[in-house]
Amino acid sequence: MSSSNQKTPKFPCVDCHTDCCKEYTIFVNAHDVYRLSNGLNSKPETFLELIGAKDYSLGIKVEEGLVDLALKQKNAACEFLEEFDDVFRCTVNDFKPGVCKSYPFEMKNGELSQMSDIMCPTDWDLTGFKEMMVPHLQKDESEWKFYDQLVNEWNLTHAGQPLSEFLKFMLEKVKLCLK
């Protein structure tokens, strides 16, 4: 419940040069791709890049190789990062990937905590962001579990087919689970 006495916690992003959007490869899962595809009204191929999979057991086995899915980059940053009057902003804020919303938080022993070695210029107010971040992190974790199971199913039943088929398979699974 909100009250007029509650203060909105300060977002360190306001005073930041969005280093996280420039330094990290943004890996995405099925729900991320579904939301981006709908939000942009674009095919996933237009914003996805294939990265060689680091984990053999979890990589997607497609005709193109053993891969993971990530957002494309432009000018050494995420392609959705744009500069307006010397300020960098995410242009897909309403449907940005779960990892972007999560950063720099994580759950540790059931408690909200800040990742170590963060790029943010200041520490975050964990108490102030708890109500917002805990449900998000729980949802994000379940979406990654769903994705891992989906990739596993694909690898067992469709390995070696083209990426375009995997993307159709993946989006269909998300649609079914959201019904």
Binding site for ligand SF4 (CB under 6 A): 12-13, 16, 18-21, 26, 71, 78, 80-81, 90, 92, 96-97, 100, 103-104, 119-120
Q: By the 8 A CB rule, do 47 and 79 touch?
A: yes
Q: By the 8 A CB rule, do 113 and 106 touch?
A: yes
H helices within 24-72, ranges in order? 30-40
Least distance (Å) between residue 56 CB and ligand SF4: 26
Least distance (Å) between residue 43 CB and ligand SF4: 17
CB nearer to ligand SF4: pick between 123 and 172:
123
Least distance (Å) between residue 141 CB and ligand SF4: 18
Least distance (Å) between residue 62 CB and ligand SF4: 23
CB nearer to ligand SF4: pick between 3 and 94:
94
CB nearer to ligand SF4: pick between 20 and 150:
20
In one letter, which amino acid is 58?
Answer: L
CA distance 4 to 25: 39
Q: By the 8 A CB rule, do 112 and 134 touch?
A: yes
CB nearer to ligand SF4: pick between 70 and 151:
70
Least distance (Å) between residue 155 CB and ligand SF4: 27
Q: Return the residue matching tokens 């269909």.
A: 172
Q: By the 8 A CB rule, do 30 and 148 touch?
A: no
CA distance 102 to 87: 21
Under DSSP, the state recorded for 111 is E
CB nearer to ligand SF4: pick between 9 and 104:
104
